[in-house]
Amino acid sequence: MKIILFSRPQVARTAEEIRLLLDAIRRFGTEYAVNEEFVPVVRQLTGGEISAEHIYGQRLAPAASEQSIMVCYGGDGTLLEGVHRLGGAPVPVLGINAGHLGFLTSAPNAGLDELFRRIAAGEFATEARSLLSVTGDFAEQPDSHLALNEFTVQRHGAGMIAVETYVDNQMVATYHGDGVIVSTPTGSTAYSLSAGGPVVVPACRCLTITPLAPHNLTMRPVVIPDDSIISLRIRIRHSGAFVTLDNRTYPISQPGDFTVRRAEERIFLAVPHNISFYDTLRDKMMWGIDIRS
């Protein structure tokens, strides 16, 4: 099993944490490759060097193979960027939570020896997760049209924007406000959740449309089948706007039209421990904890 390690330079770590991580990878005799942005951090904090044959860049193809697993060390943002780097390649992705909330990075930043022993032995299950595919009037074309969590349209400035929203050519509503989020089940616990969207179990075959600060207070999130095609027509009067694919931001032409559908590609989250979505939900949301004392 080859480990494709991905981490972002801005993730806070100590020299000891990095040493433990790399030692655990090497201890079980697995091949590995480290993204080029992370190499200077390793050098600065530990004084160690990573040889050229163990470094990969923006093009992941030489590093990936059928017997590979991507290990993302950081928070959910790190995992989203790692998934983007894969570009839809069917490589399992495992997140080690060195961040904060961590709905996607479920493996704890402890017990690394046991974790990598399981990886080396192939002792992990995978969960297929849907991706979004987005096309439309990007002012600057993205290098990938895929998103794991969500696609959003958002205002830029003080004025409202209007987003005419259609599902399979049937009009749902015109959302006047800050914008709209189209979310996968995986993304239901991300931006959509903070905007009042529902929590969706990842196995559900659906998408959600969640308005952002709608001017009409009767507007509510809508859950639709994931084989639907969503059309968004953006109308701007006194404000600018931009769109996002997960954590990647792009300006848009004014006005702009976008089409969102479930992508043919999927990603596979590796699950090394017997941790269910409901366990993670209770833990991260602190459901059932008595805070009265």
Q: Please list the active-site residues.
A: 76
How is the beta sheet containing 222-225 ordered, strand by strand? 222-225, 206-212, 179-183, 150-156, 240-245, 248-251
HEC sequence for 233-247: EEEECCCEEEEEECC
Whether residue 93 contacts residue 6, with contact meaning beta carbons closer than 8 Å, is answered with: no
Q: How far is CA 227 from the centre of its chain?
A: 20
What tokens were used for 88?
A: 């839809």
- Choose among 83, 85, 75: nearest CA to 12: 75
User: How wide is the angle at C-alpha 99 spanned by C-alphas 275 and 146, nearest 5°?
Assistant: 80
112-121 vs 15-27: helix axis angle to the nearest 10?
30
CA 59, 63, 69, 71 dihedral sign is negative
Alpha helices in the chain (DSSP H): 15-27, 39-46, 76-86, 112-121, 191-194, 277-285
Q: Is beta strand 240-245 parallel, antiparallel or unpaired with respect to 150-156?
A: antiparallel
